[in-house]
Amino acid sequence: MRVKHAAAPIAVAGVVALSATGLGLSPAPAAAADRVQQRLVAEGFLSAADVTGSFDARTGAAVARWQAARGLDAHGVVDAVTADELLGTGSTQVPQRRIPR
């Protein structure tokens, strides 16, 4: 799956979402951009030079690649499911939605 350029991040009442395919809203408070970026660097999906502390196009694309590699919907949004798996936040009680292979 090819990832399109990510949209600019948006913030609504403390919720930030970045989508590689367009704008979206996260159902849970967003994870801190720097934490997300550090995990993506540690797992080889983002260059250390791209750590900016903000959700930008490169971060959205890296999140989408990470999601695809994990069998999740590769939308590039750091939603509750993505935050749980990427950061181990344990913030959701919803089962992980995986794409059948």
> How does pLDDT run across 32-63, given as a tens digit for each residue?
888 999 999 999 999 999 999 888 999 999 99
Q: What's this model's pTM, rounded to 2 decimal places?
A: 0.62
Distances in Å between the Cα of 12 and the Cα atoms of 16, 28, 29, 30, 37 are: 7, 11, 10, 10, 21
Instruction: Break the chain into its structural domains and give their ranges.
Output: 10-87
Cite the beta strand spans of the chain per DSSP E.
10-12, 15-17
Q: With 0-12 CB in 10 A as exposed, 13-18 as middle and 19+ as buried, what is 83?
A: buried
User: Could you tell me the pLDDT band of residue 74, with boundaries at 50, 70 and 90?
Assistant: very high
Whole-number pLDDT of residue 88: 84
* pLDDT > 90 in the chain, percent: 42
Whole-number pLDDT of residue 18: 45
- CA 26 to chain centroid, in Å, comes to 10
Written as one string, the DSSP assignment of 44-57 is TSS-GGG--SS--H
